[in-house]
Amino acid sequence: MTTFTHTIDGVAESSDQHFDVINPATAAAFAQCPSVSRDQLDRAVAAARSAFESWSKLPPAVRREHIANFAHGLAAKIDAIGPVLTREQGKPLGQAKWEIGGAVHELEEMCKMDLPYQLIRDDGKHRVELIYHPIGVVGAITPWNFPIILAAHKIAHGLYAGNTMVLKPSPYTPLATLLMGEVARTALPRGVLNVVAGGNEVGQWMTEHEGIDRISFTGSVPTGKKVLASASGTLKRVTLELGGNDPAIVLDDADLAAITPNLFRGAFLNAGQICMAVKRIYAPEKLYEPLIEGLAKLAQAHRVGDGFEDGVEMGPLQNKMQFDKVNAILEDTKKHSGVRVAAGGHTLNRPGYFIAPTVVAAPHDDMRLVREEQFGPVVPVMKYRELDDAVRRANDTRFGLCASVWTTNPPKGAEVAKRIEAGTVWVNHHVGSEADMPFGGFKESGVGRELGAIGLASYLEPQVVKVPLA
């Protein structure tokens, strides 16, 4: 049985306390994970602080080479880490390997851009420059849906900017991330990337910690609010990548045959457990029934099962809490008059946290399924008459992460996209991140951005230097 360890100052460490890691496809524990102690966390922070002295002074091109080295090390371990990710997270093995491959790609791509610099003024009297310093030690906290790629986003820009890091994954999916730490032991100078696992209390220790200067958090809205409150004690720099309730608006000129498979993928990839999944669909009256029929057909044909079974396209919900939450939302949905479950609507009769891909014809916007972030394989489709009404309903939410518009007329789609209150709006696409596109939310979906030039700048402290020339 594999033994999993933290990486603290470039060295493997276990802990006195351990906790079970559950395979969501069986609901049974399959591994033990060490639970970092307060003293170990303090040592990880101290190691990062000590490594910061030399790491922050390296030329960015040298840091880029180190990060590329780390990316190569990760690429070499895809076949070893992929099965661990499937076992702890539930996603099909091919998708687990695809996630790790994506992380390798992002680590390389995100470090290609230059660090920011601006000559503000050089008018013969003064030279005024805007330069950027690394902030210090970053505390990175990740959720359980995409533990590897979300960690890679934080590692790439956090380290490339000259900071060092303590990374803590979710207690539901800690193991693949601990294996990333193993890669760091040989690929990066010691102390630059420390990886520790533990319960939610470790996240709180990090957000309060005087030795941590910046928090990069990805998770739910309620936890994000706690992080912001807790980080205020030391006025840490904070970015929050939080939940979403993404609307997809289908325009009346849409070609259903072309868009339905993409809409389906946007809603059901990773069993719907994606911050930026399609979570509500608004369809015009004339396309409403055919769209529901098309989505329901795909849902019925979608192969659900253990991520190690051949041909499986969708795994279970990642944990019991999420499984119970989605089931409760489903039960609430069925109580509403006029609701029609066009596909799925039930759990699978086997161990594990499986829910069949579910498509709901939903006549009301005030149901939990429409108002809340379901974060599961259940999507409601709502009807609209006037486009203005669809846009108003799409914006009638405290969330504002992503959205999409589906049409055969992309310029018209772009006009509608600009009216939606969300950090990213795609036309004829939904779900995905790219190294040069800043990602984050309006409203309660987050604070700040990751990725792109804005994301990189968020790991730096700007400084104005004004010098007289006379």
Which of 406, 340, 400, 344 lies closest to 367, judged by CA?
A: 340
Name the CA radius of gyration of the chain, rounded. 23
Q: Which of residues 162-191 bind ligand NAD (CB under 6 A)?
A: 168, 170-171
Decide whether 5 or 145 has the Cβ nearer to ligand NAD. Answer: 145
The residue ranges of DSSP E strands in 230-370, in sequence order, are 237-241, 246-250, 278-284, 340-343, 358-361
How far apart CA 168 and CA 194 sit, in angstroms, is: 9
Residue 421: closest CA among 253, 244, 218: 244
Catalytic residue among 106, 108, 182, 241: 241
Q: Which is nearer to ligand NAD, 218 or 260 (CB)?
A: 218
The single-letter code of the amino acid at 94 is G
Count the site residues for ligand NAD by CB under 6 A.
28
Per CB under 6 A, does 141 bind ligand NAD? Answer: yes
Least distance in Å: CB of 354 to ligand NAD?
A: 18
174 exposed, middle or buried (CB, 10 Å; 0-12, 13-18, 19+)?
buried
Q: Could you say whether residue 444 binds ligand NAD (CB under 6 A)?
A: no
Catalytic residue among 88, 275, 313, 421: 275
Look up 275 and say whether it is catalytic: yes
**63 vs 153 by CB, closer to ligand NAD:** 153
Query: Does 242 help bind ligand NAD (rule: CB under 6 A)?
Result: yes
What phi and psi, each to the nearest 5 degrees, are found at residue 309? -75, 140
- Binding-site member from 35, 86, 142, 424 for ligand NAD (CB under 6 A): 142
Pairing relationship of beta strands 137-141 and 214-218 according to DSSP bridges: parallel
In this chain, which stretch among 38-46, 59-67, 75-83, 214-222 interacts with ligand NAD, using CB under 6 A?
214-222
Binding to ligand NAD by residue 241, rule CB under 6 A?
A: yes
448: contact with ligand NAD by CB under 6 A: no
By CB under 6 A, what part of segment 271-330 binds ligand NAD?
Answer: 275
**What six digits make up the tokens of 334?**
């069925």
What are 246's strand-pairing partners?
A: 278
Q: Which residue, 92 or 438, has its beta carbon nearer to ligand NAD? A: 438
Binding mask 369-408 for ligand NAD (x = CB under 6 A): ----x-x-------------------------x-------
Task: Give me the DSSP letters along 349-383.
Answer: SSSS--B--EEEE---SSSHHHHS---SSEEEEEE
Pairing of strands 18-23, 402-406: unpaired
Q: Which is nearer to ligand NAD, 142 or 404 (CB)?
A: 142
Q: Single out the residue of 34, 73, 82, 143 in contact with ligand NAD (rule: CB under 6 A).
A: 143
Half-sphere exposure of 147 (CA within 13 A, CB side): 30
Interaction of residue 239 with ligand NAD, rule CB under 6 A: no
In the bound state, the residue with its beta carbon closest to ligand NAD is 203
Do 48 and 164 meet the contact criterion of CB atoms below 8 Å apart? yes
Question: Where on the chain is the footprint of ligand NAD (CB under 6 A)?
Answer: 141-145, 150, 168, 170-171, 200, 203-204, 207, 218-220, 223, 226-227, 241-244, 275, 373, 375, 401, 446
User: Which positions are catalytic?
Assistant: 241, 275
